Amino acid sequence: MFNLVYPNRRIATRQVVGSPEAETSTVFPLAADDEAEVLSFLSRRPLHTFGMAGFIRTNGLVSPANPGTFYACRDREYRLDSVALIGHFILFDTPKASTAEPAIRAFARLAENCSDIGMVLGEEENVARFWNHYSGNLRTFNTRRYILLVKNFGPAEAYERVHNLRRATLDDLNLVVAAHAQSVFEDRGVDPLQTDLAAFVQRCAERIGQGRTWIWTEGQNLIAKAEVTTETPEVVYLEAIWVNPEVRRNGYGSRFVSQLSNFLLEHTASVCLLVNEENTKARSLYTKIGYKPMSYYRAILV
């Protein structure tokens, strides 16, 4: 991971990234006392900044638990202009059209110092621009197109109630690990139980401990599971939604996601998730229970 350390962050930390002849932005490493300002900035576009906001609210702005370091570009009045997470995950938000290109270029040049980039994720056009500027784009990578689906509060769908919907406990850890690993394999083609077992189990346990893993059980059987990775008054982001293969195509997924979404909407303005564009069955399920497409996202898996 690439970090900048300077004696005077407000003045001496500035690093101009880019060629002299090109318009560039100035990149600042962010510190713990910037956290409130950064969260306020990200809350302007909560449906597009859920990833960064989720990491900050869970771990803090500066934490070894984050999959990278947070940086920002500022305007001449020193107000935040763009924010990025640069490390194993690359996430960024550049809301101003007039400064988006130089900011993305600056973040891409900064990312060239990272040796362990695993994924770049964001709105499709911005990810393409980032990848064009990133000199490591000749490395082997896969790319996937996702659709950001959003559900707002509305009339509840008429599905049979799920009576055993609850937050998972550590007693459920083995069930959750197996289900979560299968959901990762189905989405990315990688089995985390083979590549990083100890860390994967630890992450599952941490999410359970934070009350972010929701499950539906019947007796000793796990019927369905979902992870809440971001939870703010503006948006909740769901991922790793899994339904037991033995009961798929019988309406269990619709019942589970519908009831969980409606419960979460009692405490937030919207619930969102990313679905692989090629997964037509999942897209149909989410649309049926009230999710609406908002925009296209692109993931580059290095």
CATH number at residue 199: 3.40.630.30
Question: Are 104 and 158 members of one domain?
Answer: no
Residue 272 has pLDDT above 70, yes or no: yes
Q: What is the pLDDT of residue 23?
A: 59
Confidence of residue 8 (pLDDT cuts 50, 70, 90): very low
Residue 7 has pLDDT above 80, yes or no: no
Residue 4 in any domain: the answer is: no
Domain carrying residue 88: 15-139
Better-predicted residue by pLDDT, 118 or 6: 118
Q: What is the pLDDT of residue 11?
A: 28
Domain end, chosen from 117, 139, 161, is at: 139
Mean pLDDT, all residues of the chain: 89
Question: Are 132 and 157 members of one domain?
Answer: no
Q: What is the pLDDT of residue 15?
A: 41
CA-based nearest residue to 54, from 78, 70, 72:
70
Residue 97 · residue 65 · CB < 8 Å: no
Question: Are 133 and 162 members of one domain?
Answer: no
